[in-house]
């Protein structure tokens, strides 16, 4: 796989050495067991896969190059390039300005843009409508486009299915940048509707079967369907694609459920299923799949708590938190500074969507086992920072130095 020119301060000698060794030992990526850092009677288990993915490194390289190549011009990001506050802050410090926030709210007036300005398209991609707005300003959006190739793969899959007469059901968070982009590209070719979870998929099924009146659809799925959507016709043939950072198990569950609904409603024999339901397969990116599988492998070990590192608005990171929460106390942190001391931790609560603090998060018992992973937009340096902080708070700094020397040399 291609290597990217990413700023060195995002790297970690320890994490790089561990990842390189694990890759050499397991080139087929079949071993999802974690890497154990034994610090005396404190054990840190690092997930097999975590951190920057191909799409994120590609986006960072392009964005930093855009700044370097245009020192005499104004450089803008359409919105957050990736969901990591540190990386976005670095770009802001370099003079890059955001045109809108992650929900699509304008942070400036479109009229401020000129044809001399540089606009970077984020890794999530963007809508066709916004691309056209930039072109109207004389700005070519593809010049510094960082759209992840795996997101584009979903767009291509939706287009292929749509041209065969299927309506697209997008499993994603309706207000997420990537879902908005996928929805925009999909609806150019076929009727499209977004469902955020299994509950909404089950609700959508009631319009397939006629259990709910057709007119109710337009209220219940307001802002989640394409213009001109005809619920009486457009749910007769469907296919499912997803936002690439969703939970693999949930997407598969939604696809299996809707497929079964079509089979039962239309009394389909096995050879007739394709007439009503497109076999799209899972459209999650490789990194999302690998990171989620690695968390499942990590959770096979017994541990006292898990720490997940990443941006609080990162979808793929939030799903890693959800997986860990099913097994043990889990703390979603943005960096090592959140570990305030050995008694108090600041972390993000996915359920209340607020940053909070928890006391006595670090058990005094020994041995102490801690799981650590991060999202696809999290620099490895932040993971090393958390490992260093754990060692500091548990008085295992000497043991960590010895471990680092073994890995790094």
Mean model confidence pLDDT for the chain = 95
- DSSP letter string, 191-225: -EEEE-SHHHHHHHHHHHTTSS-HHHHHHHTTTSB
Q: Which distant-in-sequence residues (6+ apart) come within 8 Å of 260 by Cβ? A: none
State yes or no: pLDDT of 72 exceeds 90: yes
What tokens appear for 327 in the block? 């097994």
The DSSP code for 122 is: P
Neighbours of 5 (CB within 10 A): 11
pLDDT at 255: 94
Q: Does an H or E element contain 292, and which?
A: helix 286-298
For residue 186, the surrounding DSSP H or E stretch is: helix 177-187
pLDDT for the residue numbered 258:
97
For 135-173, give one letter per residue: b (16+ CB within 10 A) or e: eebebebeebbbbbebbbebbebbbebbeeebbbbbbbb
pLDDT tens digit string along 96-136?
A: 999 999 889 999 999 999 999 999 999 999 999 999 999 99
Cα distance between the two ends of the chain: 25
- Whether 280 shows a pLDDT value over 80: the answer reads no
Residue 173 has pLDDT above 90, yes or no: yes
Residue that the structure tokens 């000497």 belong to? 398
Question: Among 281, 391, 259, 270, which residue's Cα sits nearest to residue 336?
Answer: 391
Q: Which CATH code fits 8-53+286-408?
A: 3.40.1010.20
Q: Which of the following is catalytic: 57, 80, 145, 178?
A: 178
Mean pLDDT of 84-100: 94
Q: Which pairs from 72-76 meet CB under 8 Å and 24+ separation?
A: 73/116, 73/117, 73/118, 74/116, 74/117, 74/118, 75/117, 75/118, 75/119, 75/120, 76/113, 76/117, 76/118, 76/119, 76/120
The whole-angstrom separation of Cα 361 and Cα 343 is 6
H helix or E strand, kind and range, residue 1: none
Determine whether 178 is an active site residue.
yes
- What gap in Å lies between CA 30 and CA 9, rounded to an integer? 30
CA 357 to chain centre: 25
pLDDT (0 to 100) of residue 249: 87
Residue of 107, 35, 52 lying closest to 77 (CA atoms):
107
Q: How far apart are CA 179 and CA 127, in angstroms?
A: 9
Would you say 17 and 408 are in contact if contact means Cβ atoms under 8 Å apart?
yes
Nearest to 193 by CA among 168, 228, 160, 175: 168
* Peptide bond connecting 339 to the previous residue in cis, omega within 30 degrees of 0: no
Residue 102 DSSP code: T
* Predicted local confidence at residue 409, as pLDDT: 80
For residues 217 and 330, give the distance between their C-alpha atoms in angstroms, rounded to a whole number: 38
Do 8-53+286-408 and 149-278 agree at the fold level?
yes
Phi, psi (5° rounding) for residue 235?
A: -110, 15
Contact at 8 Å (CB) between 201 and 193?
no
Q: Give tens-digit pLDDT for 222-234.
A: 999 999 999 999 9
pLDDT recorded at residue 248: 85
Q: Could you tell me if 305 and 329 are in contact, meaning their C-beta atoms sit under 8 angstroms apart?
A: yes
Q: Which helix (H) or strand (E) holds 259?
A: helix 248-266
**Across 182-196, average pLDDT:** 98
Domain ranges for the chain, please list them.
Answer: 8-53+286-408, 54-136, 149-278
What's the fold here for domain 54-136?
A: Rossmann fold (3.40.50)
| C-alpha span between 274 and 133 (Å, rounded) | 38
Task: Quote the pLDDT of residue 311.
Answer: 95
Q: Which of the two residues, 280 and 342, has the higher pLDDT score?
A: 342
- Whether the CB-CB separation of 227 and 265 falls below 8 Å is answered with no
Q: Specify the pLDDT at position 202.
A: 98
Q: At what angle are helices 149-162 and 177-187 packed, to 10 degrees?
A: 30
Band of residue 324 on the pLDDT scale cut at 50, 70, 90: very high
Mean pLDDT for the stretch of residues 263-277:
96
> What is the average per-residue pLDDT within 216-241?
97
Confidence of residue 1 (pLDDT cuts 50, 70, 90): low
CATH number of 149-278: 3.40.1010.20
Query: Which residues on adjacent β-strands are paired with residue 349?
Result: 354
For residue 199, count CB atoms less than 10 angstroms from its CB and return exposed for 0-12, middle for 13-18, buried for 19 or more. Answer: exposed
Each residue of 26-66: pLDDT tens digit? 999 999 999 999 999 999 999 999 999 999 999 999 999 99
What is the pLDDT at residue 282?
A: 62
Query: What's the pLDDT score for residue 179?
Result: 97
């Amino acid at each position: 796989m291609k290597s990217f020119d990413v700023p060195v301060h995002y790297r970690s000698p320890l994490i790089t050495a561990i990842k390189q060794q694990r890759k050499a030992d397991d080139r087929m990526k079949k071993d999802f067991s974690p890497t154990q850092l034994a610090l005396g009677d404190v054990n840190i288990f690092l997930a097999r896969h975590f951190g920057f993915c191909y799409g994120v490194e590609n986006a960072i390289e392009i964005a930093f190059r855009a700044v370097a190549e245009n020192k005499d011009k104004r450089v803008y990001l359409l919105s957050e390039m990736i969901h990591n506050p540190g990386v976005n802050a670095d770009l802001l410090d370099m003079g890059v300005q955001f045109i809108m926030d992650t929900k699509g709210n304008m942070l400036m007036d479109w009229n401020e843009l000129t044809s001399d300005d540089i606009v970077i398209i984020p890794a999530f991609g963007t809508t066709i409508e916004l691309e056209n707005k930039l072109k109207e300003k004389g700005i070519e959006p593809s010049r510094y486009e960082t759209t992840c190739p795996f997101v584009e793969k979903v767009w291509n899959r939706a287009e292929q299915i749509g041209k065969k007469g299927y309506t697209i059901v997008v499993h994603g968070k309706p207000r997420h940048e990537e879902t908005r982009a996928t929805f925009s590209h999909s609806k150019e070719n076929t009727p499209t509707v977004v469902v955020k979870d299994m509950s909404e998929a089950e609700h959508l099924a009631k319009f397939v079967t006629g259990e709910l009146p057709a007119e109710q659809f337009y209220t219940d799925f307001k802002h989640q369907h394409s213009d001109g959507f005809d619920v009486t016709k457009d749910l007769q043939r469907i296919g499912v694609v997803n936002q690439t950072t969703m939970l693999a198990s949930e997407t598969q569950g939604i696809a299996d459920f809707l497929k079964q609904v079509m089979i039962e409603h239309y009394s389909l024999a096995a050879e007739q299923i394709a007439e009503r339901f497109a076999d799209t397969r899972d459209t999650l990116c490789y990194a999302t799949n690998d990171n989620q599988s690695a968390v499942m492998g990590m959770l096979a070990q017994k541990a006292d708590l898990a720490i997940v590192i990443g941006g609080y608005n990162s979808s793929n990171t939030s799903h890693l938190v959800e997986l860990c929460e099913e097994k043990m106390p889990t703390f979603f942190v943005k960096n090592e500074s959140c570990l305030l001391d050995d008694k108090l931790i600041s972390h993000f609560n996915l359920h209340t969507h607020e940053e909070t603090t928890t006391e006595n998060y670090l058990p005094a018992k020994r041995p102490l086992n801690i799981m650590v992973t991060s999202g696809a937009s999290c620099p490895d340096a932040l993971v090393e920072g958390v490992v260093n902080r754990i060692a500091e708070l548990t008085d295992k700094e000497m043991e960590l130095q010895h471990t680092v020397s073994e890995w790094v040399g």
